[in-house]
Amino acid sequence: MINYALNIEYPNDYQFWASDINQDGSINVLDVVIIVNLVLDGGYNFYADMNEDGSIDILDVVQLVNIILGNSRSADATYATLNQKGESLYISGDGYIGAVQMVLSHGYDFSIELTDSAMVSEYRTTGNTTTLIVVSPIGEEIFTTSDDYDIEEIIVANSSTMVDITEPIRYALGRAYPNPFNPSTSIDFSIPTDSYVSITVYDILGKEVISLVDEHYSIGYHTIT
């Protein structure tokens, strides 16, 4: 997490006073962290409801970030694209991305490392589900994991609203990584619609070695080990 040192003090201005979530007399990344934790934990705080819509979500997060960053950001993104490379998942767009929220399903021994190149990056894992939020990412990488997972939900916001996520437009099978490997390797694949998927490994003589996947998958990006 990158610590932003900028503090904004406006004791006589209601808008800025109400944005001081922890009421410590300044508006900074600590206030952003409070809202992020409220989103992850399903909590509510009157001061954290920046847009006064009765709920706490990443739109409240990006509204507070706008106050902290001012006009230093670039033009807003109008869409976002997901891309898996190796063990990392990346999100890119045609402009500023203020926050990313994702829900992943996975096994019980799931391990994840969020990017450090962001104002705030936090996650919560309960059983075989992980919810993560990355605020104002500087690069495109969102997280890294060597474990299998499926993306159940994703929300991307610019500075004021949600943006569309581009889904895979073709069937694609990535290379095994790492390669060579011992004792395991991972393979990414994407499908443009809910489909039945079969992935089989053959040796150089054309003999079937093992069937890795033989089941129904939902549209999107997937990783198997």
For residues 171-188, average pLDDT: 81
User: CB-hemisphere CA count at 13 Å for 154?
Assistant: 22
Q: Could you tell me which of 189, 184, 97, 95 has the C-alpha nearest to residue 142?
A: 97
Centre a 10 Å sphere on the Cβ of residue 115 and count the other Cβ atoms it contains. Answer: 21
> Is-above-0.85 flag for pTM?
no
Q: Is the pLDDT of residue 76 over 50?
A: yes
Secondary structure string (H, E, C) spanning 147-158: CCEEEEEEEEEC
Confidence band (pLDDT; 50, 70, 90) for 190?
confident
**Per-residue pLDDT for 102 more than 60?**
yes
**In the prediction, which pLDDT does 12 show?**
45
Mean pLDDT of 62-78: 83
Mean pLDDT of 122-130: 95
Helix (H, G, I), strand (E, B) or coil at 16: helix
Residue 70, CA distances (Å) to 48, 65, 99, 170, 178 in order? 18, 8, 16, 39, 42
pLDDT band per the 50, 70, 90 thresholds, residue 142: very high
Residue 206 has pLDDT above 50, yes or no: yes
The pLDDT value given to residue 10: 44
What is the overall mean pLDDT for the chain?
84
Give yes or no for residue 175 having a pLDDT over 50: yes
What's the confidence (pLDDT) of residue 6?
45
Average pLDDT over residues 95-100: 94
- The continuous run of DSSP H or E covering 59 comes out as helix 58-69
pLDDT in tens, 7-28: 444 444 545 545 777 777 777 8
As a whole number, mean pLDDT of residues 92-98 equals 91
Q: For 148-172, what is each residue's pLDDT tens digit?
A: 888 888 999 998 899 988 766 567 7
